Structure 1
Amino acid sequence: MLDQLGADRMANVPFSGIREIFEECDRLEDQGTDIVHLEIGRPDFDTPSPIKQGAIDALDRGDVHYTSNYGIQPLREELATKLEEENDIRYDPDDEIVVTCGATEAVFVTLLGIVEAGDEVLVPDPSWTYSAGIQLAGAEPVTYELDPQTGFQPDIDSLREAVSPETKLLIVNSPNNPTGGVLDEAHATEIRDFAVDNNLLVLSDEIYEKILYDDKTHQSLAALNAMRDRTVTINGFSKAYSMTGWRLGYLAAPAELVDPIIRARQYTSTCASSISQHAGVRAVGSGLHEPMVEAFERRRNRVSERIERIPGMTCPNPTGAFYAFPTLPEGYTDDREFVFSLLRESGVALVPGSVFGDAGKGRLRIAYSNSVERIDEAFDRLEHWL
């Protein structure tokens, strides 16, 4: 019998804390409990019909085979046009854009291609689960703070304290998961200056780019002076177009950075689904996301209204994505205990803030990826439970 079945590098890679919530929801629903889902980081809408038709047409044409590791040419050309017109960044569709199996794969192959043992990577705290991919690539995650007093903008002083001679890569996520914060122009400029001064590469995760409220605008870091050559821009179709199951994302970077990334990509999934890629061609530049964003804004407004009614619960108003990140109500300190007790006793599913890092302790992530009616039901249950 083998003494050790798992690789040593997996020892520090935790199971997803969000997945633990999903599994408890499944168990309770199997017992007949009605669960109000505010934990799921995905739109609850159907994929728009024109996008689905793009997939149907691809099937009818027989476009069902492997594609280039970079993705199909029509999609890369559409993305190059989108990036130039919407983000003010020019990329060559032939060797500077890579279509991936979701933005998650784009993040992972970027890390595999760029960092290694001995490198450090600066990660926002709180944030999505970048740290696991960094550890799998052999590097070390080092956190920097997002400041709730400024709507969860990056704390530049925290960045200066976190950087070291071993730091190679800085990760920025805007609009942000889990906070709903959106990087403003002033902080984007500070990030640019910091990256240039410390000669850092940057991974800019912009997957929630199109989900913005209150006349906010999106800041693409690669568009700033001196940033294009050091930045990998990551985006995808899951959030804006409600295409989570289609597994379609992309990355854009100068050819010198794409070269090591595409080498890693060749040995992962080979290529994104050809059918999903043809659907993606119909999505780019379509404006099909706009009705969903309008619905998310109505939901954001209702969540903010209901949070204000609960003593001790405070939250910077989210201006992007579809998450709120409030503090626990008055009298509570353990976010994990709070979430599981609420779920088991009242059927409301949230995510403990500590899942997203030390800065999330004592907070909750509320995903308003559910109807206004179900949001009200969740808060009615929460108030009654409190």
Structure 2
Amino acid sequence: MVTGGKRENIIVLTKPVTLEGESDADYTAPNPLKLILGLFKHVRPGSDLTRFEVPPLLNLPKSQLQSYGETVYCTATDMLSRCNHGKSPHERLIAVVAWSISTLRPVQFGVAPYNPVLGETHHVSRGNFNFLLEQVSHHPPVSALHATNEEENVELTWCHRIAPKFHGASVEAELQGKRKVKLLNHGETYVMNSPNLSIRFLPGPGTEWVGNVRIQCQETGLEAEYRCKSSSFMWRRGNHRSIKGKIFESSSLKTLYEIDGHWDRIVRMKDINSGEFTDIYNAKEVISRLNATIVKDPRELRPSESAVVWCEVSQCILSKDWEKAREAKRTVEEKQRELLRKRGSIGESWVPKHFTVSHSKENGWDCSPIQERVPPGPIVVPL
């Protein structure tokens, strides 16, 4: 934690969640039955939870925007740059698959980050990679990410909408939007989706990533698919956090490699022609020894920076001053409502600062960065 220049409040930057699902803040998951009863007081099965307000007692001391960014820039090795180093299209696609798997992180049951306010930003650098995130819509909640590495000539864009629904014994959060990894030296663009998050209350509390991920590269004619499998009600260590998939040719659908393993352990690839096995991802090597980001230049922190917006709320949560946390959170949310009322009174629409946003029933949400390159951020990942 560091002080932000002349700001009276302390900027709180906590460590990312560990591979075991723990954080550096002291939390105990609430009783799942109490959570279900609390949800039933406000919503019914099938309801959209995007407008459901979480009390500070159930909040992590960070915004969802920061948590979202951490899945990309908080790694022990630079997985994105590694995608550029493959000597062949096959090797580069395999590296992109491994990077995609690295964004799957444990989610703590019973607690959630803050819902980002409209226009909230998060600007971070990790080595030569610069990351800029912006909350481009509040209802529905849509986040946009743009990252560039000029040395490696790699670019990432990621449009991300969370659509959670309550189903009585569980919450299913669909993650809509596309991720695009551009390897500009090779003229290749890899387009992919995200799996969904399942939060289960009964018969035992837990969270898991479920669903299919598809990665396509039109320039090379190669594709990959993998499925995050549910452990179901019968808890089995072998099925927990497992994935299974393949890499194949788009035109012939010929399978080249088979993928199997667990995203929190080892993922292996089998070469169909030779029968050889290769480890393509080791979670303990990638998601370990992760430190909290630090403020390199407090003078460059924008008022819209996520840690600035929520600094007082986070301080109160870490000190377990729940009454002040509720007041501070109410202040942030009321400020957003007041800005919404002012814009409505003069007929003004809010426009994102760093992205152009489009939406259609056919293509969903799409966010395109306005600037070609992301400049270095005031917050950095210690290497």
Q: Which has the higher helix share?
A: 1
Q: TM-score range with shorter-chain normalisation? A: under 0.3
Relative to the length of structure 1, the TM-score reads: 0.28
Q: Which has the higher strand share?
A: 2
